[in-house]
Protein backbone atom coordinates (compact mmCIF):
# COMPACT_ATOMS: atom_id res chain seq x y z
CA UNK A 1 0.00 0.00 0.00
CA UNK A 2 1.43 3.34 -1.11
CA UNK A 3 0.37 6.91 -0.64
CA UNK A 4 0.90 10.33 -2.14
CA UNK A 5 0.15 13.78 -0.74
CA UNK A 6 -2.49 15.66 -2.69
CA UNK A 7 -0.07 18.57 -2.98
CA UNK A 8 2.27 16.27 -4.91
CA UNK A 9 -0.33 15.13 -7.40
CA UNK A 10 0.87 17.41 -10.19
CA UNK A 11 4.25 15.66 -10.12
CA UNK A 12 2.56 12.28 -10.07
CA UNK A 13 0.41 13.20 -13.09
CA UNK A 14 3.45 14.47 -14.90
CA UNK A 15 5.24 11.16 -14.31
CA UNK A 16 2.19 9.18 -15.40
CA UNK A 17 1.81 11.27 -18.55
CA UNK A 18 5.44 10.55 -19.40
CA UNK A 19 4.70 6.82 -19.18
CA UNK A 20 1.42 6.71 -21.12
CA UNK A 21 -1.44 8.88 -22.33
CA UNK A 22 -3.11 10.11 -19.14
CA UNK A 23 -6.82 10.90 -18.88
CA UNK A 24 -8.26 12.70 -15.88
CA UNK A 25 -11.64 14.19 -14.95
CA UNK A 26 -11.79 17.97 -15.42
CA UNK A 27 -14.48 20.62 -15.48
CA UNK A 28 -15.18 22.63 -18.62
CA UNK A 29 -18.09 25.09 -18.63
CA UNK A 30 -19.60 23.31 -15.65
CA UNK A 31 -19.45 19.82 -17.18
CA UNK A 32 -17.05 17.14 -15.91
CA UNK A 33 -15.50 14.87 -18.49
CA UNK A 34 -12.39 12.76 -18.89
CA UNK A 35 -9.82 14.80 -20.83
CA UNK A 36 -6.15 14.29 -21.69
CA UNK A 37 -4.06 15.61 -18.85
CA UNK A 38 -1.79 18.56 -19.46
CA UNK A 39 0.42 20.75 -17.30
CA UNK A 40 -1.63 23.17 -15.23
CA UNK A 41 -4.97 21.37 -15.62
CA UNK A 42 -7.16 21.30 -12.50
CA UNK A 43 -8.19 17.70 -11.88
CA UNK A 44 -11.74 17.33 -10.56
CA UNK A 45 -11.03 14.99 -7.64
CA UNK A 46 -14.35 15.44 -5.86
CA UNK A 47 -16.68 15.23 -8.86
CA UNK A 48 -18.55 11.93 -8.73
CA UNK A 49 -19.45 10.74 -12.21
CA UNK A 50 -18.04 12.31 -15.33
CA UNK A 51 -20.68 13.07 -17.96
CA UNK A 52 -19.60 10.67 -20.69
CA UNK A 53 -18.73 7.33 -19.07
CA UNK A 54 -15.22 5.95 -19.50
CA UNK A 55 -16.51 3.11 -21.68
CA UNK A 56 -15.53 5.53 -24.44
CA UNK A 57 -11.88 4.68 -23.91
CA UNK A 58 -12.47 1.09 -24.96
CA UNK A 59 -15.52 1.56 -27.14
CA UNK A 60 -15.21 5.07 -28.62
CA UNK A 61 -18.30 6.96 -29.74
CA UNK A 62 -16.80 7.11 -33.23
CA UNK A 63 -14.02 4.96 -34.62
CA UNK A 64 -12.77 4.03 -38.05
CA UNK A 65 -12.89 0.29 -38.55
CA UNK A 66 -11.30 0.15 -41.97
CA UNK A 67 -10.48 2.33 -44.92
CA UNK A 68 -10.22 1.52 -48.60
CA UNK A 69 -8.83 3.07 -51.72
CA UNK A 70 -9.46 1.91 -55.26
CA UNK A 71 -6.35 2.20 -57.36
CA UNK A 72 -5.08 -0.54 -59.63
CA UNK A 73 -6.15 -2.89 -56.86
CA UNK A 74 -8.36 -2.41 -53.90
CA UNK A 75 -6.28 -1.24 -50.94
CA UNK A 76 -7.82 -2.19 -47.62
CA UNK A 77 -6.58 -1.09 -44.26
CA UNK A 78 -7.75 -2.62 -41.01
CA UNK A 79 -7.65 -0.14 -38.14
CA UNK A 80 -7.99 -2.62 -35.28
CA UNK A 81 -4.25 -3.29 -35.12
CA UNK A 82 -3.61 0.42 -34.59
CA UNK A 83 -5.86 0.67 -31.54
CA UNK A 84 -4.61 0.72 -28.00
CA UNK A 85 -1.79 3.10 -27.22
CA UNK A 86 -0.51 2.87 -23.66
CA UNK A 87 -2.93 4.87 -21.53
CA UNK A 88 -3.82 5.54 -17.93
CA UNK A 89 -7.32 6.33 -16.79
CA UNK A 90 -7.18 8.20 -13.51
CA UNK A 91 -10.10 8.47 -11.09
CA UNK A 92 -12.64 6.18 -12.69
CA UNK A 93 -15.42 5.69 -10.13
CA UNK A 94 -16.12 2.14 -8.89
CA UNK A 95 -19.49 1.95 -10.67
CA UNK A 96 -17.85 2.80 -13.99
CA UNK A 97 -15.07 0.29 -13.30
CA UNK A 98 -17.73 -2.36 -12.70
CA UNK A 99 -19.23 -1.51 -16.08
CA UNK A 100 -16.00 -2.53 -17.82
CA UNK A 101 -16.62 -6.13 -16.77
CA UNK A 102 -19.99 -5.98 -18.51
CA UNK A 103 -18.55 -4.51 -21.67
CA UNK A 104 -15.95 -7.30 -21.56
CA UNK A 105 -18.72 -9.87 -21.62
CA UNK A 106 -19.88 -8.43 -24.91
CA UNK A 107 -16.66 -7.50 -26.65
CA UNK A 108 -14.16 -10.04 -25.31
CA UNK A 109 -16.47 -12.96 -25.94
CA UNK A 110 -16.62 -14.60 -29.38
CA UNK A 111 -16.47 -12.95 -31.86
CA UNK A 112 -13.70 -11.10 -30.09
CA UNK A 113 -13.38 -7.41 -30.82
CA UNK A 114 -9.69 -6.88 -31.43
CA UNK A 115 -9.66 -3.09 -31.13
CA UNK A 116 -11.54 -3.29 -27.85
CA UNK A 117 -9.20 -5.98 -26.53
CA UNK A 118 -6.11 -3.96 -27.37
CA UNK A 119 -7.49 -0.87 -25.70
CA UNK A 120 -8.45 -2.80 -22.56
CA UNK A 121 -5.06 -4.45 -22.40
CA UNK A 122 -3.08 -1.26 -22.84
CA UNK A 123 -5.06 0.91 -20.47
CA UNK A 124 -4.23 0.96 -16.78
CA UNK A 125 -7.30 1.89 -14.77
CA UNK A 126 -6.91 3.76 -11.50
CA UNK A 127 -10.19 3.75 -9.62
CA UNK A 128 -10.97 6.44 -7.08
CA UNK A 129 -13.24 5.45 -4.21
CA UNK A 130 -16.22 7.70 -3.54
CA UNK A 131 -16.42 9.28 -0.14
CA UNK A 132 -19.85 10.79 -0.68
CA UNK A 133 -22.29 9.06 -3.03
CA UNK A 134 -25.13 11.43 -3.91
CA UNK A 135 -28.85 10.77 -3.74
CA UNK A 136 -29.01 9.34 -7.27
CA UNK A 137 -26.17 6.85 -6.63
CA UNK A 138 -27.40 3.31 -6.08
CA UNK A 139 -24.42 1.15 -7.00
CA UNK A 140 -24.69 -0.61 -3.63
CA UNK A 141 -27.85 -2.30 -4.90
CA UNK A 142 -25.74 -4.01 -7.56
CA UNK A 143 -23.22 -5.21 -4.97
CA UNK A 144 -20.76 -2.53 -5.92
CA UNK A 145 -18.90 -0.94 -3.03
CA UNK A 146 -18.08 2.68 -3.80
CA UNK A 147 -14.85 2.41 -1.81
CA UNK A 148 -13.65 -0.73 -3.57
CA UNK A 149 -13.18 -1.48 -7.23
CA UNK A 150 -12.01 -5.05 -7.75
CA UNK A 151 -11.86 -4.57 -11.52
CA UNK A 152 -9.39 -1.70 -11.36
CA UNK A 153 -5.64 -2.08 -11.72
CA UNK A 154 -5.01 0.41 -8.92
CA UNK A 155 -7.44 1.54 -6.24
CA UNK A 156 -7.06 5.06 -4.88
CA UNK A 157 -8.73 6.08 -1.64
CA UNK A 158 -8.97 9.67 -0.50
CA UNK A 159 -7.97 9.86 3.18
CA UNK A 160 -8.00 13.63 3.48
CA UNK A 161 -4.59 15.14 2.80
CA UNK A 162 -3.39 12.12 0.89
CA UNK A 163 -4.43 9.48 -1.59
CA UNK A 164 -3.69 5.87 -0.71
CA UNK A 165 -2.86 3.72 -3.75
CA UNK A 166 -3.29 -0.05 -3.78
CA UNK A 167 -2.10 -2.08 -6.76
CA UNK A 168 -4.65 -4.82 -7.51
CA UNK A 169 -3.27 -6.38 -10.69
CA UNK A 170 0.08 -6.94 -12.36
CA UNK A 171 -0.61 -3.95 -14.61
CA UNK A 172 -1.26 -1.88 -11.54
CA UNK A 173 1.95 -3.06 -9.88
CA UNK A 174 3.90 -2.13 -12.97
CA UNK A 175 2.50 1.39 -12.89
CA UNK A 176 3.15 1.74 -9.15
CA UNK A 177 6.75 0.63 -9.67
CA UNK A 178 7.17 3.28 -12.39
CA UNK A 179 5.86 5.93 -10.02
CA UNK A 180 7.62 4.55 -6.96
CA UNK A 181 9.97 7.49 -6.52
CA UNK A 182 7.03 9.81 -5.94
CA UNK A 183 5.17 7.55 -3.54
CA UNK A 184 5.72 6.75 0.09
CA UNK A 185 4.78 3.70 2.15
CA UNK A 186 1.37 3.91 3.74
CA UNK A 187 1.49 3.61 7.52
CA UNK A 188 -0.73 1.38 9.60
CA UNK A 189 -2.61 4.56 10.53
CA UNK A 190 -3.34 5.16 6.86
CA UNK A 191 -4.50 1.60 6.48
CA UNK A 192 -6.91 2.12 9.34
CA UNK A 193 -8.26 5.24 7.69
CA UNK A 194 -8.86 3.32 4.48
CA UNK A 195 -10.68 0.63 6.46
CA UNK A 196 -12.63 3.30 8.23
CA UNK A 197 -13.66 4.86 4.88
CA UNK A 198 -14.75 1.47 3.64
CA UNK A 199 -16.78 0.72 6.72
CA UNK A 200 -18.57 4.06 6.62
CA UNK A 201 -19.52 3.59 2.99
CA UNK A 202 -22.56 1.46 3.65
CA UNK A 203 -24.28 4.20 5.61
CA UNK A 204 -23.71 6.90 3.05
CA UNK A 205 -26.29 5.85 0.51
CA UNK A 206 -29.78 7.26 0.62
CA UNK A 207 -31.14 5.28 -2.32
CA UNK A 208 -31.20 1.53 -2.79
CA UNK A 209 -33.31 -0.80 -4.87
CA UNK A 210 -34.41 -4.34 -4.36
CA UNK A 211 -33.72 -6.43 -7.43
CA UNK A 212 -34.84 -9.76 -6.09
CA UNK A 213 -36.80 -11.59 -8.75
CA UNK A 214 -36.64 -8.72 -11.22
CA UNK A 215 -35.42 -10.78 -14.15
CA UNK A 216 -37.98 -13.54 -13.58
CA UNK A 217 -40.80 -11.06 -13.23
CA UNK A 218 -39.93 -9.42 -16.52
CA UNK A 219 -39.97 -12.81 -18.26
CA UNK A 220 -43.73 -12.55 -18.49
CA UNK A 221 -43.98 -8.83 -19.12
CA UNK A 222 -43.16 -8.41 -22.79
CA UNK A 223 -46.81 -7.83 -23.66
CA UNK A 224 -47.75 -6.08 -20.42
CA UNK A 225 -49.82 -2.89 -20.35
CA UNK A 226 -47.15 -1.36 -18.16
CA UNK A 227 -45.05 -0.25 -21.14
CA UNK A 228 -48.06 1.52 -22.59
CA UNK A 229 -48.12 3.80 -19.58
CA UNK A 230 -44.38 4.16 -19.24
CA UNK A 231 -43.32 5.20 -22.69
CA UNK A 232 -45.66 8.13 -23.24
CA UNK A 233 -43.40 10.82 -21.92
CA UNK A 234 -40.21 9.46 -23.51
CA UNK A 235 -38.98 11.95 -26.11
CA UNK A 236 -36.74 9.43 -27.84
CA UNK A 237 -33.41 11.19 -27.28
CA UNK A 238 -30.19 9.31 -26.73
CA UNK A 239 -29.25 10.78 -23.37
CA UNK A 240 -29.83 7.63 -21.31
CA UNK A 241 -28.13 5.27 -23.73
CA UNK A 242 -25.15 7.45 -24.57
CA UNK A 243 -24.51 8.27 -20.92
CA UNK A 244 -25.07 4.71 -19.73
CA UNK A 245 -21.78 2.97 -18.86
CA UNK A 246 -23.17 -0.41 -19.86
CA UNK A 247 -24.99 0.43 -23.12
CA UNK A 248 -22.91 -0.97 -25.92
CA UNK A 249 -24.91 -0.90 -29.16
CA UNK A 250 -23.33 0.50 -32.28
CA UNK A 251 -24.00 1.19 -35.93
CA UNK A 252 -21.68 0.82 -38.89
CA UNK A 253 -21.67 3.66 -41.38
CA UNK A 254 -19.97 3.97 -44.72
CA UNK A 255 -18.26 7.19 -45.64
CA UNK A 256 -17.41 7.25 -49.32
CA UNK A 257 -15.56 10.02 -51.13
CA UNK A 258 -14.80 9.25 -54.75
CA UNK A 259 -12.52 6.23 -54.96
CA UNK A 260 -11.76 6.03 -51.29
CA UNK A 261 -13.79 5.66 -48.18
CA UNK A 262 -14.01 4.57 -44.59
CA UNK A 263 -16.19 2.30 -42.55
CA UNK A 264 -17.04 3.89 -39.25
CA UNK A 265 -18.42 2.39 -36.11
CA UNK A 266 -20.37 4.73 -33.87
CA UNK A 267 -22.61 4.52 -30.85
CA UNK A 268 -26.24 3.97 -31.59
CA UNK A 269 -29.22 4.20 -29.29
CA UNK A 270 -32.25 1.93 -29.11
CA UNK A 271 -34.26 5.06 -28.31
CA UNK A 272 -33.82 6.34 -31.87
CA UNK A 273 -36.49 5.58 -34.45
CA UNK A 274 -33.93 4.54 -37.05
CA UNK A 275 -32.21 2.05 -34.74
CA UNK A 276 -34.22 -0.86 -36.11
CA UNK A 277 -35.28 0.75 -39.37
CA UNK A 278 -34.91 -1.70 -42.25
CA UNK A 279 -33.80 -0.72 -45.73
CA UNK A 280 -37.16 -1.76 -47.14
CA UNK A 281 -39.01 0.58 -44.81
CA UNK A 282 -40.23 -1.86 -42.19
CA UNK A 283 -39.51 -1.06 -38.56
CA UNK A 284 -40.01 -3.90 -36.09
CA UNK A 285 -40.09 -1.37 -33.24
CA UNK A 286 -42.54 1.08 -34.79
CA UNK A 287 -43.22 3.29 -31.79
CA UNK A 288 -41.41 4.62 -28.76
CA UNK A 289 -43.22 2.03 -26.67
CA UNK A 290 -41.25 -0.85 -28.19
CA UNK A 291 -38.04 1.14 -27.90
CA UNK A 292 -38.48 1.99 -24.22
CA UNK A 293 -39.44 -1.60 -23.49
CA UNK A 294 -36.36 -2.83 -25.31
CA UNK A 295 -34.05 -0.65 -23.24
CA UNK A 296 -35.34 -1.84 -19.89
CA UNK A 297 -35.84 -5.45 -20.96
CA UNK A 298 -32.28 -5.52 -22.23
CA UNK A 299 -30.89 -4.17 -18.99
CA UNK A 300 -33.02 -6.15 -16.58
CA UNK A 301 -33.96 -9.31 -18.44
CA UNK A 302 -32.11 -10.18 -21.66
CA UNK A 303 -28.64 -9.28 -20.42
CA UNK A 304 -28.91 -11.13 -17.10
CA UNK A 305 -30.31 -14.16 -18.95
CA UNK A 306 -27.37 -14.11 -21.32
CA UNK A 307 -24.55 -13.00 -19.06
CA UNK A 308 -25.73 -13.46 -15.50
CA UNK A 309 -25.68 -9.81 -14.40
CA UNK A 310 -28.09 -6.91 -14.62
CA UNK A 311 -26.77 -4.42 -17.18
CA UNK A 312 -26.80 -1.54 -14.72
CA UNK A 313 -24.22 -0.41 -12.21
CA UNK A 314 -26.35 2.18 -10.43
CA UNK A 315 -24.23 5.15 -11.48
CA UNK A 316 -27.36 7.33 -11.59
CA UNK A 317 -26.57 9.16 -14.84
CA UNK A 318 -29.96 8.40 -16.38
CA UNK A 319 -31.61 9.45 -13.13
CA UNK A 320 -29.85 12.81 -13.13
CA UNK A 321 -29.87 13.52 -16.84
CA UNK A 322 -33.07 12.17 -18.40
CA UNK A 323 -35.00 15.25 -19.55
CA UNK A 324 -38.33 13.67 -18.60
CA UNK A 325 -37.17 11.69 -15.53
CA UNK A 326 -37.84 8.33 -17.09
CA UNK A 327 -35.16 6.20 -15.52
CA UNK A 328 -34.29 2.73 -14.39
CA UNK A 329 -35.08 3.48 -10.73
CA UNK A 330 -38.70 4.03 -11.70
CA UNK A 331 -38.91 0.81 -13.67
CA UNK A 332 -37.28 -1.31 -10.98
CA UNK A 333 -39.57 0.22 -8.41
CA UNK A 334 -42.75 -0.20 -10.39
CA UNK A 335 -42.06 -3.63 -11.83
CA UNK A 336 -40.89 -5.34 -8.73
CA UNK A 337 -38.43 -4.43 -6.09
CA UNK A 338 -39.08 -1.55 -3.77
CA UNK A 339 -36.88 1.51 -3.70
CA UNK A 340 -35.95 2.20 -0.12
CA UNK A 341 -35.01 5.40 1.53
CA UNK A 342 -36.61 7.89 -0.81
Partner 1 sequence: MAAVIGWRKKDFWWQSPVVFLEDPAAAHRLVWDPFTVYSPVKFLLEWQASCAAKVGIFVKGCDSRGINRLLQDKRLERERVVVYGVPCGGKADAEKIRASFPAKGIKDVTLLGEQLVLTVGDREVRVAAEAYLLDKCLTCRHPNPVVYDKLLWEEVLPRQRADESRFARVQAVASLATEERFFYWQRQFERCIRCFACRNTCPACNCRVCIFDQAEPRWLGKANDPADTLNYHIIRAFHVAGRCFECGECERICPAGVPLQELNRKLIKDINEAYGDYEAGLDATDQPPLGTYRGEDPAGFDES
Partner 2 sequence: MPVVNERFEPLIVAFCCNWCSYAGADLAGISRMSYASNVRIIRVPCSSRVNPGFIIRAFQRGADGVLVAGCHPGDCHYHSGNFFTRRRLTVLKQMIEYLGIEPQRFQVRWISGSEGAKFAMVMNSVAEEIRLLGPNRKLRDVR
How many residues interact with partner 2 (rule CB under 8 A)? Answer: 3
Chosen residue from 266, 306, 334, 338 binding partner 1 by CB under 8 A? 266
For residue 256, the partner it binds in partner 1, partner 2, none, with Cβ less than 5 to 8 A by kind, is none
Which residues in 258-329 belong to E strands, given as ranges? 260-267
- Find the binder of partner 1 among 253, 256, 260, 286 (CB under 8 A): 253
- The residues near 27 (Cβ < 8 Å, ≥ 6 apart) are 42, 44, 47
Rule CB under 8 A: say whether 337 interacts with partner 1. no
59, 248 Cβ separation under 8 angstroms: yes
How large is the C-alpha radius of gyration of the chain?
Answer: 22
Does 62 contact partner 1 by CB under 8 A?
Answer: yes
Q: What share of the chain is helix, strand, coil (3-state, %, to 5)?
A: 40, 25, 40
Out of 39, 71, 274, 280, the only residue in the binding site for partner 1 (CB under 8 A) is 274
Closest distance to partner 1 from the beta carbon of 287 (Å): 9
Instruction: Name the binder of 257 from partner 2, partner 1, none, CB < 5-8 A by kind.
Output: partner 2
Side-by-side strand order, sheet with 260-267 = 74-78, 62-70, 260-267, 250-257
DSSP per residue, 19-73: HSEEEEEEEETTEEEEEE--TTPPP-SS--S-SS-GGGGTS-SEEEEEEEEESSS
Q: Phi and psi (nearest 5°) for 217?
A: -60, -40
Kindly state the smallest distance separating residue 31's Cβ from partner 2, in Å: 20
CA 46 to chain centre: 18
Binding mask 12-51 for partner 1 (x = CB under 8 A): ----------------xxxx-x-----------------x
Interface pattern 313-332 for partner 2 (x via CB under 8 A): --------------------
Question: Interaction with partner 2 in 243-272: which residues (CB under 8 A)?
Answer: 255, 257, 262
- The neighbour count for residue 172, using CB atoms within 10 Å, is 20
Site string for partner 1, 136-165 (x = CB under 8 A): x-----------------------------
Whether cis (ω within 30° of 0) applies to the bond prior to 111 is yes
Query: Where does this chain bind partner 1 (CB under 8 A)?
Result: 28-31, 33, 51-52, 61-62, 134-136, 206-207, 229, 232-233, 235-239, 242-243, 251, 253, 255, 264, 266-269, 272-274, 277, 319, 321, 323-326, 329-330, 333, 339, 342
Query: Where does this chain bind partner 2 (CB under 8 A)?
Result: 255, 257, 262
Amino acid sequence: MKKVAKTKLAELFSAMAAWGKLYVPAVSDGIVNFVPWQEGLTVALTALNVLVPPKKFFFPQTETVLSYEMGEDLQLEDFACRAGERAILFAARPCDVASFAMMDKVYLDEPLDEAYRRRRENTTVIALGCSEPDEACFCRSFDIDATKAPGADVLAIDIGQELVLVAQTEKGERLISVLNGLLSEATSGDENRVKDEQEKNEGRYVTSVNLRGMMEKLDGMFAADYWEQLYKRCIGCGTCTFLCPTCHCFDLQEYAAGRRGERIRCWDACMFADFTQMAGGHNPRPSQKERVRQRFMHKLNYFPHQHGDYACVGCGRCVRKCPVNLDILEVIQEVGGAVDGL
